[in-house]
Amino acid sequence: MEERKIPQHVAIILDGNGRWAKAKGMPRNYGHMQGAKAVENILFDADELGIKYLTVYAFSTENWNRPQAEVAALMKILEQYLKSSIKKSMKNNVRCRVIGERSKLSPAIQAAVNDLEEATKNNTGLTFTIAINYGSRDEITRAVRKVAKRVQNGELDADSITEEDINNSLDTGFMPDPDLMIRTCGEQRVSNFLLWQLAYTEFYYTDIAWPDFDRNELEKAIDAYNHRTRRFGGLKKGEE
C-alpha cells in the first residue's frame, strides 16, 4: 500500500456552530464556545498527524453584519482564545499568526494578537494561522494598495509587477498555499476565504457541524485527499 500523503497546509472554514447549538436547543453562542474547543483539539491532532500549516477562518469581514450581541460574544471568545494560546503554543512549539484587517479590532484583541505572535514567533513546529476580520477581497485590495505605493515611490515599475509581488503583499505571504480546504456543515461555497491562495487547492466538504469535527473527521478528509489526483494545469509523468 502506498504511504498516506499528509497535506502540508490545511485550511478550514469552520462552519455550523449556530446550527449545531440550535439543534440542541441551545443559544448560538454556546455553539461558538464549543467551536473554540474544537479548534484547540484539532490543532493538536493536526500537529500529531504531521500537518505543517493549519489555517482557520474564525471571523469574516462580513460577520460584522451579525447581531451585535453575537459579534460581541465572538470577540470575547476570540480574545480569550488568543490569550490562552500563548502557553499551549509554547508547550507544543506552535507558531501562531493572525491574518485579516486588524485596525477594526478592539485594542484588547489587537494587543492579544501582537502578544501571541511575538511570543511564538521563533517556534519551529506547526504554523497555526487564525483569520480574524478576514475577507479575501479586502486582503487583495490592501495588497494592491501596497504594490501601488511601491510603484508610486518609484521602487517598482508597473509593467514588471509579478504574481510573486502580489503574493508577497497578501497577509499570507509567509506561507505556502493550502493543499486541502475543508468546510464543515454542508455549505459548499468559499465565503470570501483565500480566493487567490486556493487556486489549486483540493476542496473537501462534510455535513458534520464544526463543534463535532474531531480527529476522526480530519482523518476522513485526509483520506479523501489521498484519493484525489492533484494536477496543476499540466500533465504528470506517464500521462502524456
Q: Is the Cβ of residue 147 or residue 185 nearer to ligand IPE in the bound state?
A: 185
157 is catalytic: no
**Contact string (CB under 6 A) for ligand IPE, positions 181-200, x = contact:** ----x-x-x-x---------
Of 29, 45, 47, 63, catalytic? 63
Q: Cell 480546504 identifies what position?
A: 181
Q: Which three cell numbers stand for residue 102?
A: 486588524
The correct pick among 11, 13, 14, 15 for binding Mg ion (CB under 5 A) is 15
Q: Is the Cβ of residue 33 or residue 148 nearer to ligand IPE in the bound state?
A: 33
Count of residues near Mg ion by CB under 5 A: 1
Cα–Cα distance for residue pair 76/105, rounded to 1 Å: 11
Per the CB < 8 A criterion, the answer to whether 83 and 91 are in contact is no
Pick the piece of the chain touching Mg ion (CB under 5 A) from 7-15, 27-35, 91-99, 123-131. Answer: 7-15
179 binds Mg ion (CB under 5 A): no
Strand partners, 58: none
CA 206 to chain centre: 17
Q: How far is the CB of 32 from ligand IPE (least distance, A)?
A: 6
Separation in Å, CA 131 to CA 65, 96, 128, 172, 192: 17, 11, 10, 10, 11
167 is catalytic: no
Pick the piece of the chain touching ligand IPE (CB under 6 A) from 1-9, 15-23, 86-94, 195-203. Answer: 15-23
Cα–Cα distance for residue pair 70/74, rounded to 1 Å: 6
HSE of 54 in the Cβ direction (CA atoms, 13 Å)?
A: 23
Cα–Cα distance for residue pair 106/153, rounded to 1 Å: 32
Residues lying near ligand IPE in the complex (CB under 6 A): 13-19, 35, 57-60, 63, 74, 185, 187, 189, 191, 210
Residues lying near Mg ion in the complex (CB under 5 A): 15
